[in-house]
Amino acid sequence: MLRLALHALVFIALTLLTQLGGIAYAVAILSVSHVPNRAVAGLSALGLFLAGYALLHVAAERTAHLHGRVPLPCTTSPDADLQIANRLYCVLNRHYVRPELLAVTKALAAHMAEKHGAATIALDANFPFIDGFPLLPHLSHDDGRKLDLAFSYGDAGGRYQRGLIPSPIGYWGFEEPQAGADQPCQGRDDLLSLRWDMAWFQTYLKPARLDRERTAAALRWLSTEGKRQGVEKILLEPHLKQSLGLESDIIRFQGCRAARHDDHIHFQVSP
């Protein structure tokens, strides 16, 4: 019974993390259930899981368009206009969007490269299948219409560095509010909240300084030309909207129970 419960937990964890990993795990475990030697069974299950997951991963990239989603480019090359922050996002099947969202993102990347010499770096997007399937820990990345982007950064001297992000996963490198900035969540201590400060993670950040000019330029494009191409909402912390001089009504605060949005840009297109 304990072993069954453990298998169930692993199945659930892999499904929540990758959408498809639970299927590969279940097939692998069932395939070796008749093998009496535990060591042989374990190694065989691992091999079958890796092979099965790789097969499902490739199949998802070939068939996601049938369900209205397409993969973002998985390049991390610093020369590319549109990059993924970490290949792990692709390995975990978290890089799928609707075609219209991909088109807007590519248009933004082309604009930022041409006008500002900047790369556009994608973070979490959506899983390949099933509207409503949660992409944890996000509350809304469940329909292919949402995508997170990294801010632009420079070195300690303020010189823009193409492709630089302080966090290895693109998240949790927070921009702290300046004195007197708008902080609607100050003093709150909600019991149920995703608004984590991730203090333990800050020691793992690379030295980097927010490139305010390029970050603001990306947000302005999304809220003007992007809006004309279908962008309906952008989530950003109020203190950054204020300090970057942004006034668009589609740049909004996500609320005090959702994750902080002063480490990345969240935007989404209309249905």
Handedness of CA 81, 82, 84, 90 (dihedral sign): negative
Distance CA 212, CA 223 (A): 16
The tokens describing 82, both together, are 């549109």
3-state SS assignment for residue 34? coil
What are the pLDDT digits (tens) for 159-193? 999 999 999 999 999 999 988 788 888 878 777 88
Comparing CA positions, the residue from 195, 197, 178, 160 lying closest to residue 242 is 178
Predicted local confidence at residue 269, as pLDDT: 98
Are the C-beta atoms of 135 and 141 separated by less than 8 Å? yes
Locate CATH 3.30.1380 in the chain: 70-269
What are the pLDDT digits (tens) for 26-81? 999 999 988 888 899 889 999 999 999 999 999 999 999 999 999 999 998 889 99
| Verdict on whether the full-model pTM lies above 0.85 | yes
Cα 119 to Cα 67, 72, 209, distances in angstroms: 29, 14, 16
What are the pLDDT digits (tens) for 106-147? 999 999 999 999 999 999 999 999 999 999 999 899 999 999
Distance CA 151, CA 192 (A): 27
CATH class of 70-269: alpha beta
What are the pLDDT digits (tens) for 225-241? 999 999 999 999 999 99
